[in-house]
Chains A and B, each alone.
Chain A
Amino acid sequence: MSTDLATPPPATPEAVGHHDVADQRKVAMWAFLGSEVLFFGALITTFLLYRNDVGDGPGAADVFDIPFTSVSSFILLMSSLTMVLAHHSSMRRDWRQMRIWLLATALLGSVFLAGQVFEFTEFVHKGLTVSTSPFGSSFFVLTGFHGAHVAVGVLMLLATYFISVSGRFKAEEGMNVEIVGLYWHFVDIVWIVIFTIVYLLQV
């Protein structure tokens, strides 16, 4: 199948009218991720505008626990590794291994989410909520949306796992894992950006 999207497929009888579903889903996911870049871009820009608008409430230095967040960031980073391993297993058609790595990724993602929930609860106790200040509003909305994206990713991983378990997984469908992987890596990269800009670069 031609991977050069600018050139249409050759006019052979088999090729005419049939389309590489795998390629199509990849194109679709990339397009969608493109819009996600702008989505998180707008959220991050809002945060940059308001990061020092703390009103009467606590600021970043007052609430952030960098060591803790570093650990949960590392965990999310590791989940990208397990995601790659899941994909490789699917390429080798080792479905059992793939399922293990899928579960591992989902697990690591869930641990990350648990860490976020814990962290947010701490912040609220320290007096930072969505309505304390524009800093609070933009911080929670940004990281909250990221967390929601991770949660959706976990659901997608689990769904892929169960589909595989149910035995309805066709070989061509192995592409699914690559699509989920694209999404998962993207969400991870967004977190790296957020972690850097929000937590590490407290300007």
Chain B
Amino acid sequence: MATLTPDVTAAVDASPAPRGGIWSWITTTDHKKIGILYGVTSIFFFLVGGIEALFIRLQLATPNGEVLSADAYNQLFTMHATTMVFLVVMPLAAAFANYFLPLLIGARDVAFPRMNAFSYWFFLAGGIFLTVSFFVGGAPDGGWFGYAPLSTQVGEMVRMDYWALGLLVLGVASIASSVNFITTVLTMRAPGMTLMRMPVFVWMIFVISFLLLFSLPMVTVGLFQVWTDRNLGTLFFDAAGGGDPVLWQHLFWLFGHPEVYVLILPAMGIVSEVLPTFARKPLFGRSFVIFSGIAIGFMGFGVWAHHMFTSGLGPVAEAAFALTTMFIAVPTGVKIFNWLGTIWGGSLRLATPALFSLGFIFLFVIGGLSGVTHSIVPADSQQHDSYYVVAHFHYVLFGGAIFGIFAGIYYWFPKVTGRMMSERLGMWNFWLMFIGMNLTFAPMHVLGLNGMPRRTYRYAEGLGLDLWNLVATVGSFVLAFGVLVFLINAIRSWRRGPEAGPDPWDGRTLEWTTSSPPPVHNFDEIPVVEHEDDFWHRKYATDEEGYAVRVATDDAAAESTGPPEDLHLPSPSFYPALSGLGVLIALLGVVYVPWGLLATAVGGAIMVWGLFGWSLESLVREEH
């Protein structure tokens, strides 16, 4: 595909920043490298979480299965969910946001590069911390949602302490990211890029940053309360002592529900970038897509108790939340229709990113519809806590979020690595995952309606649940095979895929104006933006009937002169990583208080050293 951007290869060669070496990764403050760190770490945890799921499916393939003990099973389903939500989908969104947010808004980095690194190292610390639990007597086993008083019942065992503390530190990482992204979007857009000219993916990151900012604090309070109930004898959720277990549910779901929108909106943002590129026409109803994302963000704070319809809220509360939940389907539907409108009349190239985006739409419609059935409270009293719910959220989280993320991977892989992924393997990847996904999760709708509860390590014979459980297990292995194909594709392509060039997809947004991979400073010159889809408008004009017409090549910027003279890049720093190390040690100490207090003190001191070093460093070295 002929590219119309100036050849920046020469500029890249002249770029001052050296690459490579483990130390450069540990001290990096470059948003692109941090994005890669997030991405690789998340993919690793994706495999871990996937293997956990395969074990679960093996256990449930037959009635009274004996593959896993109940104890092992309870740990595995708890960690599968915790891993997938906090260590895979969220950080994968962070990976894309980190790498591409500055590129998409025409900036050289995020507002706070070292805080960016700090977020990654805290995330890694949380992930390592949670993993350690497997090796020291058992992973958390109270469900990813840790309902009290089950989660506070056995204070002597440390498993749920790992859970509570791990989630706390992961929350800190996310809040720091949110503050960073909000500040970046508000203060670092290229000249001419008004908020409404920002790419939809950037908007979605902007929205979820607010969602996280306002929802995490509430579960933070709840998690502290669980921890103090377990370790300090507080009575927050102790019914005998006057506490109310349902308080935990409120605090958790006040976070938990906005959280699911945090999980889906970035994927929706990716689809909103991919579809127009591959249909070769703008996103249909762009401002409506943006506003519906904002609406979902707001409304997402008003539906949380639909996770609690069987807790005994009372008919008035149940009716109110039924209504709010039903109506959040409206902005969601708006997005789907707008994506359809984007395809309509386009020239749709069915390359792998497009396939995954289309798969996203197909599967998310199913998951969205089953979600609406959940809002029908009386029907939900049968569906809740059954495999019907498991079906619903896997359709929206796997068919939705993961498929959207895979679309992003295939779409942006050329930009990050400079190489194309294999289309053939991509097709296999897509179809195996699509078929495997449906085979695994479609039967679960039936299983749930047929009376199979969730979170059960086995089911009895004679309940009529055998066939569909077996089908689901088979499907999960098809799915796994699809993931394997993806890994092969990714690794082979990274090593020796064909060269991509700056703009392999004839893209619409600013990241395609720079080289693949971009130079450390992203853009030789900060672009001046005049349109939404600014890059497209530099390449194409529209004739009187509205058809796109290619323009001459050399209205693009003059030949590259390399990076600007006064370019100051953020210096690398090891203080963020140091803080991460400190918090990991401190947390391990907290788990084993009282004799762990020494570790807590040492870890705390290291963390404070990291934070202080970082803040003092700013006076000496950091210049933009």
Q: Which of A15, A20, A37, A38 contacts B187 (CB 8 A)?
A: A20
Does chain A have a CB within 8 A of B624?
Answer: yes
Q: A159 and B111 in contact (CB under 8 A), knowing A6-B195, A34-B213, A133-B242?
A: no
Question: With the chains together, A17 CA to B566 CA distance in Å?
Answer: 10
Does chain A have a CB within 8 A of B175?
Answer: yes
Residue of B nearest to A140 (CB): B234
A154 to chain B minimum Cβ distance, whole angstroms, is 14
- Find chain A residues with CB under 8 A from B247 CB: 46, 49
A97 to chain B minimum Cβ distance, whole angstroms, is 21
CB contacts under 8 Å to A, within B252-300, are 254
Beta-carbon contact of A131 and B619 below 8 Å:
no
- Find chain A residues with CB under 8 A from B612 CB: 159
A-B CB contacts (within 8 Å), total count:
142
A67-105 Cβ-contact flags toward B at 8 Å (1 or 0): 000000000000000000000000000000000000000
Q: Which of B217, B225, B526, B615 contacts A17 (CB 8 A)?
A: B526
Among B177-185, B363-371, B552-560, the stretch that binds chain A is: B177-185
Beta-carbon contact of B218 and A42 below 8 Å:
yes
CB contacts under 8 Å to B, within A109-136, are 130-131, 133-134, 136
Question: With the chains together, A17 CA to B112 CA distance in Å?
Answer: 15
Beta-carbon contact of A133 and B241 below 8 Å:
yes
Q: A8 and B193 in contact (CB under 8 A), knowing A131-B233, A159-B615?
A: yes
Beta-carbon contact of A55 and B213 below 8 Å:
no
Q: Which of A10, A134, A170 contacts B619 (CB 8 A)?
A: A170
Beta-carbon contact of B235 and A131 below 8 Å:
yes
Beta-carbon contact of B191 and A16 below 8 Å:
yes
Beta-carbon contact of B236 and A9 below 8 Å:
no
Does chain A have a CB within 8 A of B214?
Answer: yes
Beta-carbon contact of A36 and B191 below 8 Å:
no
Interface of A is mostly: helix
- Find chain B residues with CB under 8 A from A27 CB: 111, 182-183, 186-187
- Find chain B residues with CB under 8 A from A38 CB: 213-215, 217-218
Beta-carbon contact of A133 and B235 below 8 Å:
yes
A158 to chain B minimum Cβ distance, whole angstroms, is 11
- Find chain A residues with CB under 8 A from B233 CB: 130-131
Q: A137 and B218 in contact (CB under 8 A), knowing A15-B191, A24-B183?
A: no
B212-233 Cβ-contact flags toward A at 8 Å (1 or 0): 0111111011101100100011
Does chain B have a CB within 8 A of A23?
Answer: yes
CB contacts under 8 Å to B, within A1-49, are 5-11, 15-21, 23-24, 27-28, 31-32, 34-39, 41-43, 46, 49
Does chain A have a CB within 8 A of B528?
Answer: yes
Q: Knowing that A31-B183, A42-B217 are A-B contacts, what are 10 other residue pairs whose CB atoms are under 8 Å apart, sorted by A's residue number?
A: A10-B191, A17-B624, A19-B111, A34-B214, A35-B213, A53-B243, A133-B235, A136-B234, A137-B228, A145-B224
